[in-house]
């Protein structure tokens, strides 16, 4: 089996809060990367249909606010229902291009009513969805529109010689969430963000040094230019949301913490790199936190990977 893996990071802005248009754009990026014989492409957090930037800028904590209700209703309408096939076209593109995909979505689960999750979906090279990881704890104001997730998607996937796993945004700061993936053999870590260089420049090299793995940081872009007239409360959004709210910062770190691809700011692009598993092997002589540097007789980590459901059916 080949020890190298060609990867791509798609740094892009969504067609904000528009599911069909954003998915069309995502598929175009998948096709473009596949033409370059890429084996994995990664997109930013909550890309489809977009990050809820309005909450911070429109008094999102106000109770019984018509603005917040209307914005949330629109968000639910454009959220992704995996079970009914909203990602079928993405899966088809992955299969056609023989390329795996990590895609950040806002998920509306059929059995959870109108509640939303910030989810990271992994589609393999055969076009099959292998995991949907719901962010375990939304960050700060995100909690007003996103539900808390579970451990079901905290898993790794075989991709060539690599084992790849991923986390959403701020949960990359959670040591136990990271360790749960390391302990499953992860040697390529995917870290997705809504955007901003400030979120990745310190943390990504630390994760790489801690895990002695390659780390992909995939960030999005968003500015006031992405606010379109068809959105609820367009005038208010344009008045309150100024300038750039997500400037990118996508990049790739080596297993020693150095940058293989320096973070890129302020433009849509696809970043490409070839990863070599031999570099992981070399660095793990010095540190392997879940291997020969671990002490399972002293430290143990349990993970509940059960999907969150309200109704648990029992056989009669």
Annotated active-site positions, please? 45, 135, 169
Q: Read off the tokens for 221.
A: 């872009």
Nearest alpha-carbon partner for 211 in 136, 157, 261, 283? 283
* CA–CA dist 64, 9 (Å, integer): 40
β-sheet with 100-108: strand ranges across: 129-134, 116-123, 100-108, 40-42, 4-11, 269-276
Spatial neighbors of 231 by CB under 8 A, at least 6 apart, are 16, 17, 74, 237
Burial of 82 (0-12, 13-18, 19+ CB in 10 A): middle
Q: Which residues contact 24 (CB under 8 A, 6 or more apart)?
A: none
Residue 156, CA distances (Å) to 129, 162, 164, 171, 200 in order: 13, 10, 5, 16, 22
CB count in 10 Å sphere of residue 77: 12
Contact 34, 213 (CB under 8 A): no
**Among the listed residues 247, 264, 249, 157, the one whose alpha carbon sits nearest the alpha carbon of residue 203:** 249
| CA-closest candidate to residue 38, choices 83, 80, 94, 79 | 94
CA distance 213 to 198: 21
3-state secondary structure at position 301: coil
């Amino acid at each position: 089996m080949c020890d190298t893996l060609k990867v791509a990071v798609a740094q892009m802005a969504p067609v904000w809060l528009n599911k069909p248009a954003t998915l069309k754009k995502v598929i175009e990026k998948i096709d473009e990367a596949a033409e370059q014989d890429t084996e994995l492409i990664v997109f930013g957090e909550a890309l489809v249909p977009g990050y809820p930037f309005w909450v911070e800028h429109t008094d999102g904590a106000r109770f019984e606010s018509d603005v917040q209700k209307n914005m949330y209703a629109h968000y639910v309408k454009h959220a992704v229902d995996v079970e009914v096939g909203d990602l079928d076209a993405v899966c088809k593109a992955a299969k056609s291009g023989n390329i795996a995909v990590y895609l950040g979505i806002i998920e509306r689960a059929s059995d959870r009513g109108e509640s939303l999750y910030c989810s990271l979906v992994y589609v393999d090279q055969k076009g099959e969805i292998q995991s949907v990881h719901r962010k375990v704890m939304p960050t700060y104001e995100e909690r007003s529109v996103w539900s808390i997730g579970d451990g079901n998607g905290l898993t790794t996937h075989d991709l060539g010689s690599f084992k790849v796993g991923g986390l959403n945004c701020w949960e990359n700061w959670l040591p136990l969430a990271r360790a749960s993936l390391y302990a499953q053999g992860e040697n390529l870590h995917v870290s997705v963000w809504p955007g901003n260089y400030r979120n990745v420049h310190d943390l990504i090299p630390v994760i790489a040094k801690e895990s002695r793995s390659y780390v992909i940081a995939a960030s999005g872009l968003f500015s006031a230019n992405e606010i379109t007239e068809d959105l609820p409360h367009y005038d208010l959004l344009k008045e309150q949301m100024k300038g750039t709210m997500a400037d990118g910062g996508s990049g790739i770190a080596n297993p020693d913490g150095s940058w293989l691809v320096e973070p890129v700011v302020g433009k849509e692009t696809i970043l490409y790199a070839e990863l070599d598993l031999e570099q992981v092997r070399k660095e793990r002589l010095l540190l392997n936190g879940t291997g020969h540097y671990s002490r399972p007789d002293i430290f143990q980590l349990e993970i509940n990977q059960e999907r969150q459901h309200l109704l648990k059916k029992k056989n009669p």
